[in-house]
Amino acid sequence: MEILMSILAGILFATAIYNLLQKQLLRIIIGTVLLSHGAHLFILTMGQLKTGKPPIIVEGVEQYTDPLPQALILTSIVISFGVTSLLLVLSYRASKLNESDNMEELRGSEHE
Amino acid sequence: MSNLAVLPIIIPLLAGIVAVFFAKKTMAVRIFAQVLTLLNLAVSIGIAFYVIQYGTVTLETGGWAAPYGIILVADPLAIFLVLTTNIIATASVFYAPNSLTHKQEQFYFYTFYFLLISGVSGAFLTGDLFNLFVFFEVLLMASYGLIVLGGEKIQLRESLKYVLLNLFSSMLFVTAIAFLYSVTGTVNMAQLAERIQEVEQTGILTTIGILLFFVFATKGAIFPLYFWMPKSYIVPNSVVSALFGALLTKVGIYSIVRTFTLIFIHNPEVTHELFLWLAALTMIFGVIGALSTNNVKLIIVYNIIPAVGFMLMGIGLFNHDGLAGSVYYLLQDIIIKACLFLMVGALIYVTGTSNLKKMKGLIHHFPLLGWMFFIGGLVLAGIPPFSGFIGKLLLLQGAIQEGRYVIVIIGLLTSLLILLSIMRIFTRGFWGERTELDTGNIQPKRVRGLIIPAFGLLSVCVVLGIGAEWFIPHIETITNQLLDPEIYIDSVLKE
């Protein structure tokens, strides 16, 4: 199971990097979202995917899954959610002001 | 008393929250920010003295014993960095009203500023790797807010790249933590250090170490990962540039110091050798950048890069003198970089341009600023008796002890070129015939407000250099603790 998840995370990373290297701004943002998905899946996998009950203490349950990676993922999710929403607003403003969403055109010093 | 360790984080955090409520009342929020910053400075001086006297303060937040809860560790290195942070925060908060426009000040500048300080102090004080990630995000989020403050075309454009790059490296950081968790089963730094000493399979740990190094190198602008920095640091207001240039890259360097003196010390032939080469390249490329431009702010921004290279060199040498040099250089470089940015801000305000070719003969109008700039340049280049000299001397001593003569030569040459790059501003901008300034837009009161904080920082730097004998014993303590990770582990995982 861990191997499958690792491959999946790897595919997510690969698509994320491919999208990050595109010219269109929205594609780049989609790339960052895919990248954070990959990273979060990866934390879950690295905490080992043993079969067990959800980490809520109930009478008579012996085997729980590891609660720490889940807490780490939850923290990381809200952080990347915050950054992504900032990034979306920023790119909206930037593309409106600069009248372009092409990263090739958003560089150099001629339009300062 | 162990609750002391949380104060440098919690005071600016609360101040930032309170400042939201009356952000539009400029005068009130200004005074509030200045008072709280001074309070925070006083508190960190107090904690620094406490730590010097009684040793490391560790705080188990929530009362959970060390490896299970989050702990804050105020060891001498961390607390000295927090103190330095607060010194430049104080200068910045008095500088800000004169530098920012009215609108920028009203749009939550002080909130972002306090959150930045809180995040930086938190990153210095934390003893937990995932918590370090969270504090990195706290300070980065605040920096995103500060970099777009004003919302000009170029700011939006450059901040977009800044946010994207930092998001990428943050996700890499999370991945590296996941790797480390799967190998060791913990994210607490002291326990990580303890377990890594026991673990046999060092290959995977070296890989994770280098992955973490690349994350911190992106934050700390080390060759080949400094490409994002120059543009993003010149677009915001001068006071924001000063905070960024002084603090953000140094948090990356501090993280490298912490992780590679505490956790990943099992395979120095690979990691620390890599650091030395990267340090040499960082110095060369940074100083070439500094010589390549006529934009005064960009010259200072490029000068951050060779300084980072010097600090990395000390970590790469990994002997007593090298590390002592790194620590000393780190502390003084935070102050001098902030000071130079503040002076350049004043220069840009009085001339109305950042192009060096359009400035001439300013010494006739602003003699104090001119001579301050001269001394600042000497401090930066490392001319005795100023503070840059002692750090570099220790670093070069360390390099000679290891027989690394190539990096000694590169370091000396870099210092020479740094001096050249900074003196170009002095000779071209301040020397020359007296020209009439367009005085219509310059308010003398504002200019004074811009020069005084920079003067304060410069005098701290001069004291650091001339009074080096007071500080060397503390640097020794820090270095000895860095060389012996057992001290850190024992202070955290005490029975």
Tokens encoding B51: 């730590």
**Record: contact B174-A43, CB cut-off 8 A:** yes
What is the DSSP code string of B96-144?
HHHHS-HHHHHTTHHHHHHHHHHHHHHHHHB-BHHHHHHHHHHHHHHHH
- Min Cα distance B377 → chain A (Å) is 28
Find the domain containing B156 and state its range: 2-493
- Min Cα distance A59 → chain B (Å) is 23
**Record: contact B153-A98, CB cut-off 8 A:** yes
**Record: contact B160-A87, CB cut-off 8 A:** yes
**Record: contact B177-A72, CB cut-off 8 A:** yes
Place of tokens 């999370």: B174
| pLDDT for the residue numbered A108 | 63
- Judge whether A19 is closer than 8 Å to chain B, CB to CB: no
**Record: contact A47-B160, CB cut-off 8 A:** no
Instruction: Give the CA distances from residue B450 to residues B178, B296, B343, in Å, rounded to whole numbers and listed in that order.
Output: 46, 17, 8
| Integer Cα distance of B39 and B35 in angstroms | 6
Measured in whole angstroms, the distance separating CA B449 from the mean position of its chain's CA atoms is: 24
Q: Is the pLDDT of residue A17 over 90?
A: yes
| Integer Cα distance of B313 and B326 in angstroms | 8
8-state DSSP, B404: -
**Record: contact B171-A25, CB cut-off 8 A:** no
- Min Cα distance A13 → chain B (Å) is 10
Residue B448's contacts (CB-CB under 8 Å, 6 or more residues apart) are none
Query: Are the CB atoms for B179 and B128 separated by under 8 Å?
Result: no
Q: Which of A36, A46, A91 sits opposite B179 (nearest CB)?
A: A46
Total domain count, chain B: 1
| Integer Cα distance of B393 and B495 in angstroms | 41
Tokens encoding A6: 């690792």
Backbone dihedral region for residue B485 (phi beyond 0: left; psi -120 to 50: alpha; all else: beta) = alpha
Q: How many Cα atoms are found within 13 Å in the side-chain-facing hemisphere of A111?
A: 17
Domains in chain A with CATH codes: 2-107 (1.10.287)
Q: Which of A35, A72, A93 sits opposite B156 (nearest CB)?
A: A93
Query: Are the CB atoms for B375 and B388 separated by under 8 Å?
Result: no
| pLDDT, one tens digit for every residue, chain B (495 residues) | 778 889 999 999 999 999 999 988 999 999 999 999 999 999 999 999 999 999 889 998 888 887 888 999 999 999 999 999 999 999 999 999 998 888 888 899 999 999 999 999 999 999 999 999 999 999 999 999 999 988 888 888 889 999 999 999 999 999 999 999 998 889 999 999 888 888 766 788 999 999 999 999 999 999 889 989 988 999 999 999 999 999 999 999 999 999 999 988 888 888 889 999 999 999 999 999 999 999 999 999 999 999 999 999 999 999 999 999 999 999 999 999 999 999 999 999 988 888 888 888 888 888 999 999 999 999 999 888 888 899 999 999 999 999 999 999 999 999 999 999 999 988 988 888 887 776 667 788 888 889 999 999 999 999 988 888 888 999 999 999 999 989 999 888 875
Q: Residue B428 burial (CB < 10 Å; 0-12/13-18/19+)?
A: middle
Single out the residue of B290, B257, B281, B268 nearest to residue B410, CA to CA: B281
**Record: contact B153-A80, CB cut-off 8 A:** no
Q: What is the mean pLDDT of residues A39-55?
A: 87
Query: Are the CB atoms for B12 and B40 separated by under 8 Å?
Result: yes
| Integer Cα distance of B302 and B421 in angstroms | 10
Residues linked to residue B128 through DSSP beta bridges, in sequence order = B188
> What pTM was computed for the model?
0.94
Q: Is the pLDDT of residue A97 over 90?
A: no
Q: Is the pLDDT of residue A112 over 60?
A: no
Chain A residue with CA closest to B136: the answer is A79
To test the contact with chain B by mutation, choose from A1, A13, A48, A97 the residue with the greatest count of B C-beta atoms within 10 A, namely A97
**Record: contact B181-A69, CB cut-off 8 A:** yes
- Judge whether B204 is closer than 8 Å to chain A, CB to CB: no
| Integer Cα distance of B478 and A15 in angstroms | 45
Query: Are the CB atoms for B26 and B102 separated by under 8 Å?
Result: yes
Residues linked to residue A76 through DSSP beta bridges, in sequence order = none
Residues linked to residue B188 through DSSP beta bridges, in sequence order = B128
Backbone dihedral region for residue A61 (phi beyond 0: left; psi -120 to 50: alpha; all else: beta) = beta
Query: Are the CB atoms for B425 and B298 separated by under 8 Å?
Result: no
Q: What are phi and psi of B33, to 5 degrees?
A: -65, -40
- Min Cα distance B379 → chain A (Å) is 32
8-state DSSP, B385: T
Which residues does chain B have within 8 Å of residue A45's beta carbon, measured at their own beta carbons? 178
**Record: contact B157-A98, CB cut-off 8 A:** yes
Q: Which of A20, A39, A94 sits opposite B174 (nearest CB)?
A: A39
Tokens encoding B91: 């200068």
**Record: contact A83-B156, CB cut-off 8 A:** no
Single out the residue of B81, B491, B402 nearest to residue B255, CA to CA: B81
Single out the residue of B300, B336, B332 nearest to residue B422, CA to CA: B300
What is the DSSP code string of A5-62?
HHHHHHHHHHHHHHHHTSSBHHHHHHHHHHHHHHHHHHHHHHT-----B-SS--TT--
Query: Are the CB atoms for B274 and B223 separated by under 8 Å?
Result: no
- Judge whether B175 is closer than 8 Å to chain A, CB to CB: yes
Size (chain A), residues: 112
Single out the residue of A35, A41, A111 nearest to residue A80, CA to CA: A35
**Record: contact B178-A39, CB cut-off 8 A:** yes
| pLDDT for the residue numbered B279 | 94
Q: How many Cα atoms are found within 13 Å in the side-chain-facing hemisphere of A48?
A: 12
What's the CA dihedral at B135, B168, B265, B81 to 10 degrees? -30
Residue B312's contacts (CB-CB under 8 Å, 6 or more residues apart) are B222, B253, B256, B275, B278, B279, B282, B326
- Judge whether B170 is closer than 8 Å to chain A, CB to CB: yes
Which residues does chain A have within 8 Å of residue B178's beta carbon, measured at their own beta carbons? 39, 42-43, 45-47, 69
Which residues does chain B have within 8 Å of residue A94's beta carbon, measured at their own beta carbons? 156-157, 159-160
Which residues does chain B have within 8 Å of residue A96's beta carbon, measured at their own beta carbons? none
- Judge whether B151 is closer than 8 Å to chain A, CB to CB: yes
- Min Cα distance A46 → chain B (Å) is 5
**Record: contact B154-A48, CB cut-off 8 A:** no
Residue B403's contacts (CB-CB under 8 Å, 6 or more residues apart) are none
Which residues does chain A have within 8 Å of residue B156's beta carbon, measured at their own beta carbons? 90, 93-94, 97-98
Chain B residue with CA closest to A110: the answer is B154
Instruction: Give the CA distances from residue B220 to residues B43, B299, B430, in Å, rounded to whole numbers and listed in that order.
Output: 28, 18, 32
- Min Cα distance A85 → chain B (Å) is 11
Q: Which of A32, A39, A82 sits opposite B164 (nearest CB)?
A: A32
| Integer Cα distance of B122 and B139 in angstroms | 9
Tokens encoding B153: 């075309």
**Record: contact A43-B157, CB cut-off 8 A:** no
Query: Are the CB atoms for B492 and B58 separated by under 8 Å?
Result: yes
Instruction: Give the CA distances from residue B130 to residues A46, B56, B371, B470, in Å, rounded to whole numbers and listed in that order.
Output: 15, 21, 45, 36
- In chain A, what is the straight-line distance between the N-terminal and C-terminal CA atoms, in Å? 52
Single out the residue of B101, B145, B136, B95 nearest to residue B118, CA to CA: B136
Residue B159's contacts (CB-CB under 8 Å, 6 or more residues apart) are A90, A94, B144, B147, B148, B232, B235
